[in-house]
Amino acid sequence: MPELPLWLSIAVKVAFAATVVVAATTLAERSGPLIAGLIIAMPVSVGPTYVMLAFTAAPDFVAGSALGSIAANGAVAVFGTVYVLLARRMPMPASLALALASWFAVAWAEQRWNPAPGPLAAFCTVLLFTGALLTRHLLAGRKLLAGAKRWYDLPLRAAFVGVMAGTIVTFSHAIGPDWTGLLAAFPLVLTSSIVLMHPRVGAAATAAVIATAIQGMVVYPLAFMLVYLFSVSWGVWWALLAWLSAIVGWAALVYAWRSSPHARADR
C-alpha cells in the first residue's frame, strides 16, 4: 500500500487525537473537579500518540519511547505542583510560565542524568507522589462550571493536542525514541486545560482539578514501565492494554477513595 502524502498523514493523526480530546473534555466539563481531574489525568494526548506509534513504529522503538515518557511524567509532577501552589497567588500567565519552565528544567536534568529504567521509574513515581501530598490541601470540592463557555474552547484544545500528537508521530523517526516519548508526554492537556479553565472558573477550582490530575497520574511511570518491558515480548498492543489498564485501575481507586465518607469528612 503506498504511503499517504505527508500533509494527509498529519491531518489524519490530528483528527484522531482531536476527537479523543473533545470527547474527554466534554465529559470533564459536565462534572466537578474530582471527575474532571481524573478525566484530564487520562492519557488523552499521549494515548493517541502511542496508538499511532503502534501502527507505524517497531516494538523496540515503542519501548524506547516509553522510557522518554517515564522521564516526562516526572517533570509533569513538578509542572502540576508548581502551578497548583502558585495559582491562587499569581496571575495565570505567570504561574503557568513558571510551571512550564519547571517541566523543561526537570526534563533536561533527567536527560542529562540518563539513569537505568528502574531507578528512573522509581524517581518519577516519588516525584508524583510528593506532588500529590504537597497539593492535597487544595483538593476541596468546588463547583467547576462557573462561567459561560466560549465557542472556541474545545476546538482550541483539540487543535493543541491534535497538532502535537500528529507532528510527533510523523517525525518520530527523525527525533528518535527518547525525544518521541518525552514530547509525547508533554503536559499538553494540562496546559490547555489551565489556559481555558482558569479565566472561566477561577484559580481555586482549576487548582483543585490539576491537583486531582496529579493524584491520577501517580501510576504513570510504572504503567510506562510495562510498555518498556513488554512491547517486544508481548507485542505493542498487549503492552499498551496493560498500560491503559494500570492507569484506569488506579483512577478508579483514587475515585473510590476520594468519594468515600472518610475522605469527604477530611475535607
**Could you report the average pLDDT of every consecutive run of 10 residues in the chain (267 residues)?**
50 62 62 79 80 84 89 91 93 92 89 86 95 86 52 65 61 62 73 77 83 93 95 94 96 88 54
Whether the full predicted model's pTM is greater than 0.85, yes or no, is: no
- Based on the number of CB atoms within 10 Å of its own CB, is 172 exposed (0-12), middle (13-18) or buried (19 or more)? buried
How many residues does the structure list for the chain?
267
The grid coordinates listed for 89 are 497567588
Q: Where do the structural domains in the chain lie, given as residue ranges? A: 6-266
Rounded Cα gap, residues 113 and 127, in angstroms: 15
- Based on the number of CB atoms within 10 Å of its own CB, is 68 exposed (0-12), middle (13-18) or buried (19 or more)? buried
Rounded Cα gap, residues 151 and 228, in angstroms: 40
Rounded Cα gap, residues 188 and 51, in angstroms: 17
pLDDT at 137: 83
Rounded Cα gap, residues 57 and 61, in angstroms: 6
pLDDT at 84: 94
- Cell 466537578 belongs to 32
Number of CB atoms found within 10 A of residue 56's CB: 16
Instruction: Output DSSP code: residue 143.
Output: -
pLDDT at 1: 35
Distances (CA, A) of 214 to 15, 190, 234: 27, 10, 29
pLDDT at 35: 82
